[in-house]
Every structure is written in structure tokens, then in C-alpha cells.
Amino acid sequence: MFTPDQITLLRRLQGNWPKYLHLMIDEQNRPNLAGHPLADELLALSRSERASLPFFTPNRPDRIIWLTIAPDVEELQSTMADLRAWLLPSFGWEDEPPIVVTGESSGPLSEVLRALSPAGYFRWWTMRAEFNRAVNKLRALRNLQQSRPAHAYARPPSLFDLRQQYDVALLTGDAEAAQEAIDGINLHHLDTAANTCFMQLRLWENFREYERIVTHPQLAELVRLRMPHSIRLVVIRGFHAYFLAPLEERRDIQSAANVYAERVHDWLTGLLELCRPSDGIEARRCIGYKAWLLQDGNQAKQLRKDYQDDVLDQLLAPLALPETLQPSIQDCLYNALRRGDWRAVQEAGQQLLLEEVEGEGSVSREYVQGVLRLSLEFHANPGLRELLGKSLLPSATIPAPVAPQTWPDFVARIKEKEWSSADCFLVLDNRPSLGDLSLPELSKVVEVLEELLTDPDIHCDQTGHQLVLGSLPVIIKDFLLDPEFPRPYLTNVYRQLLQLWCGQKRGSASPPDANLVLTLAEAVMRLDSTSEREVAEVIRDWWTARRARAMLPFLLSGLDILSELTAERIVTESLWVDGAALIRLDPLAFSLGERQLWRVIGSRIGLDENTIDDFLGIESASENEAPDPLTEANFKKVAIVSLREEAAQAAAALIGQRTKAQVVVVSETHAGIQTASAKTADVILFVWASSTHAVYRAFDSVREKLSYVQGKGAASIVLALERWLMKQ
């Protein structure tokens, strides 16, 4: 069945066809194609696929003009490549111009061709005497394509790439990309079920989906596994936040204690054995509830002595039990080893070394030193390493290699190609933060990392290269999670990390990778006005390495930053024109909001309205008449949560124009009046990279309204609202 537009095209074309090509079209728009020379092309047209149709020109009777149409720009480009391989220029030639872009033609078929081939159409010609040969070539091409077997094999992604995607997605607040990485690992069976389960728990905690943690279908098996301490704390924080925190906020401590006894204790009692009050307020309070339930007077007394906490005081003050006999230091060491509690092993072992405990049942000094050296591979402790370094034990008796305990040690191990030892450092539970280093030490670590990433010998060693590359997002994470990011004295470090990340990941179409580029780029530009051209070139390099429609959101966000922070108009304008050229191929494939944002940024960099219309391929007048999904959504209130108030206000103005809704901006660092107002909005646009965790916690009760914004600029905020609406 042909559509009305297809019938209109056929009637117009066959007006110039020879009589033997004329079609009989019935009242139901069904042409008779039996035995027709162009039957294959006409059937493809009826299925809205690529098709090439002739037009016999009266003014040039020796020529035939062929029109090749396709449903989208990718299909049109593929068809052009096939024609150049099969027909052009041996049996036909490209017309001048070969591509007619939608909207440029003004003939009687312009509207029909716009509907059938939105990206434009391809014009080529043959001699009239070569008509049959051209038809046969088109038929052979189509027959070959139809007989080509489908490629069922797809190369599975590497575990390294998926893990890095996961880490970067968590860092940039992209929950969907992180979940895709986990699903990819599970689909291809690249890692153990336990490890992917740990990744899932980290994802849920990162986005405060605590209900999913406490209702995990394999939770009973999970809490019995030997797990990293960080995952143990994820589970504890999940139970505390879901069951206990709401009652604590209402100061109903007795009810919280009862809920702990009924709903929490049986799940967490084994995990709490391996925790310390210093592991955070959630772990500390759960230990307090456990002491209350088990009537542990020693633990209660110690908690109240070491920590000022109203909840613990109210809970444990009535608990006055006689102190019980404490186990010996040797027993503490053995019990900690049995449980795999490396922190307790280190505490007991150091005490044994320092006090040189002797007597019946005491362990040898050599044994304690060996155990402590082994513990450093699981729990970083630079002070313990220094203590062992002063030991009189001969180095020949060291039982195993010791994991690095500091970042300088880590890069030194990599330079020595001690891959397994260095890898242990990246997964240590208590890995030291880069923020603890002095600026010279920090600069040295980044410089050595840069040297290693550009070392051809490292590139030839897959294990070494993956280890060095895998450490890069770990390093960046330490800086981005800094509450004071960006710090002015670290500008050069941020610049180095930006160059390193772009150098290693340029060409990636992963949104988290691109968002990391924009976050570092903006930090550098805001801190150093002399870096404008350098950062603009970084954004240009990232775009040109993968100039495709999928990268247009990155380019739009990059232009948003550049147009706001730089006076360097040459690069900015050229990038805008480059992106607009892709939009022009098929403007209607982009949302109204995207096209409007391209207009806003075009105006910001100094282009007039007519120029913008020409580049985008659609006039602003027709834009205004098009239905707007945001307007039709009838939002009453929209909230934007971001510490970048200027960008948030710009986004609020754009959203307000399109929705007529009340748009509130939350720029608080702690939950207050603005946050309370935002909770009543229809949708809350949360700018992940420019908000505090304290404010994020305040939205736990309205989690379904949250839309996470990838990026910080106005463009990112508006596009996040459109994506949220489409999902609803």
C-alpha cells in the first residue's frame, strides 16, 4: 500500500516516463507492479525504504535524472556509498549539486520529497541508452543486500571498559549508564555474580535507593559473603537510612530501637562485628542499637565516652551493666584473623609489637610481623608500614609483597611494572585520598601518571596500560568529590587531568566520559582566564574525533560553557556552525527544545536570526508554531537544584517561557526553605555535579520526581527536563 505522498511522487514522475513504464493505479492507491522494470525500487518505496526513481527530462532527451531518497540521513549516506561503488562514475554521474538538502528546493515536489526523505535526496544521471543497464545494476545491488546474512556475532565489551564506564557514570551522576555497565557485565558473564552484586549495591546507595538494598532478593546469601568493607558499610547505611533514620529524625529513639530489634539486627549482626564506630554515624548508631539489644555495657560505655551523640546518649544512658572480662590481645588477634577483620588485626598486632607481650600463650614477633605485612594488602595503614620498616626482622623473611600504602608508592610500583602489587592499592578499603598530599607531591603523582600514559612500552603491555588508565578516573574522583572543588591552587593539576583524560578517551561516545571532560574544562576556565583557547581546542578535539549526531548533546553543552566563559569567538562560532550542519540535514529529528537551545547559543555568540535560520534549515517563525511538549505537559511547578545559580536562572527563564510554570532555583548547601519549596514541584532537576549531598538527602521522600542533570549549564538542565518528560 502506497501512502498519498508516495502516490503524488509517482504520478508526477511518470508524467515524463515512456508509456511502457506507466503504472496502473487503482482507487485504493495500489499500482500494478507485475513485470515492471522498476518493481524492486517501487516496492522499496512502498515500504519507506531507500529507493532510486528516474525522471526523463524533456529538455535533455539523451539524459535520465535519478532521484535517490531514504528515510534518514544515515540510510541516505549508505545508499550514496553503494551507488558510487556499483554505478558511479562508470555508468552514471553525480549531478551538480548532487545532494539537495530539505528545504532548499522550491519545485512542485519539494514538500513531498521533504516528507519522504527528510535528510534531502541524492541526484545523479545516466545516458538514456544506459537505462536498462542502470536498472539491472540497481536490481543486482538490492538482491545482494537481501541475500546478505545477518551478522549474529557481536564482540563483547571488555570487563575493564565496562568497569570504567561504571565508575565514571557514578562520578558524573549518570544512573542509566552505570546500570548499562552492570547489565553488560552480567549479560556477557564477565565477572562473578558477587562482584556485580556489589556494583549494584554501590549504584543504589549512590542514588539513595535504599529500599532496593534492603529488599534485595539475594540479601540472605549476600550478608554471609566475605565482602569489601566499603560494601559492608553500603548495606549498613542502607538499613539505617530505610528503617532507623526517619524515626531518629523524629527523636523517637525507643521506636527506632524496637525496629532495629525486629527488622535489622538479624541481617546486620554479622556485618557489625567487622565495623568500628569510626566507620560513620550510621555504623556507630547501629553498633549502639546492637549494644542496647545485647545489653553490652562495655560497648555502651565506650560509645558514650568517645562520641557526643544525642541518639546514643538517650538510647544507652539507662544501660548500666557491670564490665565483663576482656579477651587477651593474642585472642583479639586470632579472632580478627578468623573473621578477616584486617583493621582489628592491625590494631592487635601493633599493640603486641609495641608492648612486646610475653608469657604463656604469646605469639612470636616474627609471626606478628608477617601477619601485619599481609594485612597491608587489604587495608592501607602508612603508620603501620613505617613501624614495620623500623623492625629488626630480616627482609628475607617477608612472606608476600606488600601493597603500596600511598599514592607516591603506587606510581613507583607502576614504574617498576609491579602490576599486581599496584592493583591492590586501587581496591584497598582505606586507600588514602589525594587531598592529603601536598601540592608538590600531588603534582609529582600526576606528572608520573602522564609519563606512564605516554610511554609506548606501557601501551604494548595490556595489563600495565589498563592499570594506568584505570587509575585515572580514580584520581579524578578524589578531586571532583572534594567539597571545595574547584580549588584555585590546583588549577594546573585540573588542566593536566583534562589533557590526560581527553588524550586517552578522545573518540568515546559515552556520555559519562564527555561529561567528565566538560566538568574539568569548566573548572579550568573559571579559575584561569588565560586557558580559554586551550580549553576551546580540547572541546573541539573531542568533537572532531567523533563528529556524529550522537555527540551533538556534548557539543551543545560545550558551546554553552564556551559562550558563557570565553571571549574566543572564532572557535566557538566554527563549532556552532559545524553542529548546525548536522542538524540541517534533518531538523525535525531534533526536539523543539534542542533547536531552541541551538538558537539561544547562536544568538549569544553574535549570529543574527536570519543566519541562524539558514544554518539550522528551519525558520524561527515555523518553530514558534510547532507544538511544544513542555507546554502541553501543563507543569505547575519546576525546581532546579544547583549551586551554579547563574546557569540555573538562565535555564529557569527558558523553561518558564515554554511551560508558563513557576520555576524555583535551589542554591542552598544545606536543606532549608528553598529545598522544602522544591519538594512540592512536579519535577526536580538535580544538577549532580553542582549540588551538595546534604541537599540531596532532603529529597529522599520525593525520589520519583528527581531528574538527574548531566552537566552544569542551562542547556543540560533544559534537555534533562525534556528527557524526563519523554520517560514519563
Report for 102-111, 335-344, 706-715: range of highest mean pLDDT: 706-715
- Residue 701 CA to residue 675 CA, distance in Å, equals 12
* Mean pLDDT along residues 570-597: 85
Confidence band, pLDDT 50/70/90 cuts, at residue 242: very high
pLDDT of residue 411: 85
Q: Hey, what's the cell of 610? A: 536570519
SS3 260: helix
Return all residues near 683 (Cβ < 8 A) that are at least 6 apart. Answer: 635, 638, 639, 705, 707, 721, 724, 725
Average pLDDT over residues 705-719: 86
What value, to the nearest 5°, has the Cα angle with vertex 473 and ends 442 and 205? 115
- Kindly indicate the confidence band of residue 393, based on its pLDDT and cuts at 50, 70 and 90: very low
Question: For position 283, what pLDDT does the model report?
Answer: 93
Residue 584 has pLDDT above 80, yes or no: yes
Q: Is 151 exposed, middle or buried (0-12, 13-18, 19+ CB in 10 A)?
A: exposed
Q: In this structure, are residues 605 and 566 in contact, taking their beta carbons and an 8 Å threshold? A: no
Under the banding of pLDDT at 50, 70 and 90, the label for residue 701 is: confident
Task: Check residue 657 and give its pLDDT.
Answer: 85
Helix 714-727 and helix 552-565, axial crossing angle in degrees, nearest 10 = 150
Say how far residue 236 (Cα) sits from the centre of its chain.
26
pLDDT at 181: 94
pLDDT at 213: 94
Indicate whether 153 pLDDT > 70: no
Which cell numbers in the block locate residue 49? 525504504
- Distance of alpha carbon 164 from alpha carbon 172, whole angstroms: 12
Q: Give the residue among 359, 362, 291, 310 at the shortest CA–CA distance from 332.
A: 362
- What would the pLDDT profile of 267-283 be if each residue is shown by its tens digit? 999 899 888 888 899 99
pLDDT per position as a tens digit, 407-460? 888 888 888 888 887 888 887 777 888 888 888 888 888 888 888 888 777 777
**What does the pLDDT read at residue 204?**
95
Question: Rounded mean pLDDT of 9-19?
Answer: 84
* 495-516 as b/e: b if 16+ CB within 10 A: bbbbebbbebbbebebbbbbbb
What is the structure's pLDDT at 360?
45
Q: Rg (Cα) of the chain, in Å, rounded?
A: 33
- Chain-centre distance for alpha carbon 156: 19
Q: What's the sign of the alpha-carbon dihedral 88, 90, 92, 94?
A: positive
Q: Report percent pLDDT > 70 for the chain.
A: 93
Looking up cell 501543563 gives 634
Beta bridge partners of 637: 662
Share of the chain above pLDDT 90, in %: 22
Residue 560 has pLDDT above 80, yes or no: yes
Asked if 196 and 208 touch (Cβ cutoff 8 Å), the reply is no
pLDDT band at 390 (very low <50, low <70, confident <90, very high): low
Q: How far apart are CA 299 and CA 306, in angstroms?
A: 11
pLDDT computed for residue 106 by the predictor: 64
Check residue 493 and give its pLDDT: 92
CA dihedral 599, 603, 606, 607 (to 10 degrees): 40
512-542 pLDDT per residue, tens: 999 999 999 999 998 998 888 899 999 999 9
Phi and psi dihedrals of 393, rounded to 5? Answer: -65, 130
- Which among 542, 559, 560, 561 is positioned nearest to 551, based on CA atoms? 542
Given a contact cutoff of 8 angstroms between Cβ atoms, the answer to whether 53 and 113 are in contact is no
For residue 357, pLDDT beyond 70: no
**pLDDT at 223 > cutoff 80:** yes
pLDDT of residue 396: 41
For every residue of 545-572, DSSP letters joined together read TT-SGGGHHHHHHHHHHHHHH---HHHH
Cell 523517637 belongs to residue: 252
Does 712 score more than 70 pLDDT?
A: yes
Please give the helix or strand (H or E) that residue 286 lies within, else none: helix 281-294
Residue type at position 728: Q
Distance CA 344, CA 321 (A): 25
DSSP assignment letter at 435: G
